[in-house]
Amino acid sequence: MTQLWPAPTASGPVRATVTVPGSKSITNRALVLAALADGPSTLRAPLRSRDTELMAASLRALGVSVQVDPTGDWLVTPAPLRGPAEIDCGLAGTVMRFVPPLAALADGRVDFDGDPRARERPLDAVLDALRALGADIDGTALPFRIRGAGKLAGGRVTIDASASSQFVSGLLLSAARFEQGVTVVHEGEPVPSLPHIEMTVAMLRDAGVVVEDDEPDTWRVEPGPIRALDLEIEPDLSNATPFLAAAAVTGGEVTIPGWPARTTQAGDAIRDILTEMGAEVRREPTGLTVTGPGVLRAVDIDLHDVGELTPTVTALAAFADGPSRLRGVAHLRGHETDRLAALQRELNGLGGAVEQTDDGLIIRPRPLTGGEWHSYADHRMATAGAILGLRVPEVAVEDIATTSKTIPDFPGMWAAMLEQA
């Protein structure tokens, strides 16, 4: 039986400075680029969590050297990619969608599998695209096998990426090593989380890769070298949002040091969301500070591009001054769990009133009571339960350890934040 974590209740306004580890999205993209680069790379202050360790292990299985130096930086030395290899994706979408294009460049068999829930997550778009580009693949979901020939023709491919922007990013990251590069054309409902594709494009360009994205829903990567990286990883802004939410729901003040002045991270959108909900948000050279309002304002907001913030915003909306509507996030039904169903079930289980719509949620604030909050092996569900527990006594979060997917010690960081108050 999974142990329950008693979510701490704040005794008053939370006032703290919280240093957040590096960005998962940047770390895992950088690892893939470094594996294909034309020389050794250094990734400074990378995130060390389950998802990034799985990515590093995947590269090692394919023959790449990924070493940790005494400071915790990662030193990545490319080598010819080869099989046989076994890739454990865990529940990491970046591993199951970014590594297959890399494995298609390997010489030999590469087998992929992951956690039970990972076998339910959609992968056909990226695997079918790789087949169309010349890869030999058995299967359309985990587990599957790629028989690499040491090269991939590449070319033009049309996909439906409406379930995940990672389908596009995964193809783009390795495309400079395809013989013809790649042109990815999306056809279907709008691609969710477009800032993540913009991050991929920016990182490719920073590594000297030629990328054209001036035509809507079309991305072209030219074949060519990838420069070695010497990269300082930004703090993970999405992982910072539960701590900023702690200030918002308790009327306190939380500072996140090192918040970048310019970033491609989707989590940066929390600044505007918290402002709309009535919080004071200040970005200074030392970091970002959020001061919570007396009462949070309800919102009607489209989170299509920043769906990962939905659990945090749902928890905030549970304490707002009226009903909130979150739109544009139907794709969350295919994440680590069906996040919309999970948020509805769990918040209603504490006495809330949450209704699913075709593309989101309506949250009507109600007095909440304590109870068990299930995480569904979803790190963002677990952190949403922690936010609620700040205001609602006796919330018990099931499987808080699932937060290690992207935050190495969330319970310790949460406790340290409250000790500063």
Mean pLDDT of the chain: 96
Q: What is the pLDDT of residues 275-329, one digit of tens each?
A: 999 999 999 988 999 999 999 999 999 999 999 999 999 999 999 999 999 999 9
Is 212 in the active site?
A: no
Name the band, by pLDDT with cuts 50, 70 and 90, for residue 122.
Answer: confident
DSSP state letter for 359: S
Query: What is the per-residue pLDDT for 281?
Result: 98
Residue 150's closest CA among 95, 210, 102?
A: 102
Is position 325 annotated in a ligand binding site? no
Task: Count Cβ atoms below 10 Å from residue 187 Cβ, excluding itself.
Answer: 10
Residues of the chain with CATH 3.65.10.10: 4-21+235-420, 24-232
Q: DSSP string of 6-66?
A: EPPPPSS--EEE-PPPBPHHHHHHHHHHHHHSSS-EEEES---SHHHHHHHHHHHHTT-EE
Distance CA 252, CA 323 (A): 23
Q: What is the pLDDT of residues 213-236, one digit of tens each?
A: 999 999 999 999 999 999 999 999
DSSP state letter for 133: T
Is position 151 annotated in a ligand binding site? no
- More reliable by pLDDT, 172 or 122: 172
Superfamily of domain 4-21+235-420: Enolpyruvate transferase domain (3.65.10.10)
Residue 143 main-chain phi, psi, to 5 deg? -80, 150
Distance CA 333, CA 344 (A): 12
Q: What is the mean pLDDT of residues 43-56?
A: 96
Model confidence at 147: pLDDT above 90: yes
Query: Residue 75 has which token pair?
Result: 């030193």
Is position 49 annotated in a ligand binding site? no
Query: What is the per-residue pLDDT for 131?
Result: 97
Is position 346 annotated in a ligand binding site? no
Q: What is the mean pLDDT of residues 340-359?
A: 97
Q: What is the pLDDT of residues 75-116, one digit of tens each?
A: 999 999 999 999 999 999 999 999 999 999 999 999 999 999
Q: Looking at 234, 308, 336, 398, which residue is catalytic?
A: 308
Name the band, by pLDDT with cuts 50, 70 and 90, for residue 167.
Answer: very high
Query: What is the per-residue pLDDT for 336?
Result: 67
Model confidence at 53: pLDDT above 80: yes
Name the band, by pLDDT with cuts 50, 70 and 90, for residue 1.
Answer: low
Model confidence at 129: pLDDT above 80: yes
Query: Residue 124 has which token pair?
Result: 């056909």
- Of 3.40.50.300, 1.10.10.200, 3.90.1150.10, 3.65.10.10, the CATH number of 24-232 is 3.65.10.10
Model confidence at 19: pLDDT above 90: yes
Global confidence as pTM: 0.91
Query: Residue 230 has which token pair?
Result: 């010497």
Residue type, 288: L
The DSSP element (H or E) to which 363 belongs, if any, is strand 361-364
